[in-house]
Amino acid sequence: MALKRCPFCAEEINEEAILCKHCGQSLTKPDDKMPVKKKPNRLLIGIVFGIIAILVIVALANSKSIIGVADQEIAEHQSANASTERSTSMTGNQSQTEPAGTQTSNPSSQSTPNASATSANDGGNTDQLIAPGKSVGKIQLGMQRDKVERILGKPDKEDTSNPNYLSVTYAGKKTSSKLMIIYDQEQVDQVNFTSKAYKTADGVGVGTYDGKQFDARFTKWKMKLRFVQTKYTLASGGLSFYGLNVDSADPENPVEVWGVLHKGTTPDNEMITQDGQPDNGWTIWDGKDIYSGE
């Protein structure tokens, strides 16, 4: 498989990829096409010159009439100027009778707030936009596998150990970012990602989901195994974030944060579960002390 480097993040990607699997930047360029020379249309040129000749003849025939109209317009303009001067004189005399200190204001000249300063985030680069329950960048739920590979290229790893679905991973070598796509019958069923570049239109992403400004939008869960695991699920569905090994100092079990695009309110393929336990081993959490309730 031939490789090239992304001009934006310098990661190695498939030579045929049109979207970087690591940073989400589009790699397509406008087509450089040579201008096509067209043969002159002789008939069209003849028609144009004929029309010009007719216009010249008509202009010459009516020159006297045009001059007369111009003279009339000059006279009307002079008359209008005279009327304006009289009106200005009357207005000036009237303004002298107004009380001193009176000031008039033009409402249209008053400053107004800058609309752009208060507008919502428009989502920025659509190649890095998360649409909960729909898409991450250009990868959409329900998209066929061959179309995904035309965009991202061939994956770095495939996992066929689960008979119910196929999991493929695109892994970065410099940024350590990962993109995992889960296929169900050759269609995208779920997208897991670690890159902080992907965000919703209002800024929710791997690096911001646990901010106070988004607190009310998520249902929070936790699980205590050897280390504490956390899960934030968007109340409106379609997007979740997992904090794995959040209290770990063990390099063999590093702290990781994953975003998950999915259908419904909870991912069908959880990042971590406890089989046989209610809610797959997750318990509701207030988002504060990770050790509370133990």
Each residue's pLDDT tens digit, 69-118: 344 443 444 444 444 444 444 444 444 433 333 333 333 333 333 333 32
Model pLDDT, residue 294: 53
Q: Which residue has the higher pLDDT, 77 or 13?
A: 13
CATH 2.40.50.140 is the classification of domain 126-284 = no
Say yes or no to pLDDT of 192 above 90.
yes
The whole-angstrom separation of Cα 258 and Cα 244 is 8
Strand order in 218-224's β-sheet?
Answer: 157-159, 166-171, 178-184, 187-193, 256-261, 239-244, 228-234, 218-224, 283-284
The whole-angstrom separation of Cα 237 and Cα 264 is 5
Say yes or no to pLDDT of 197 above 50.
yes
Q: Which of 6-20, 52-66, 110-124 has the highest mean pLDDT?
A: 6-20
Q: Which of 26-40, 65-79, 221-235 has the highest mean pLDDT?
A: 221-235
Say yes or no to pLDDT of 201 above 70.
yes
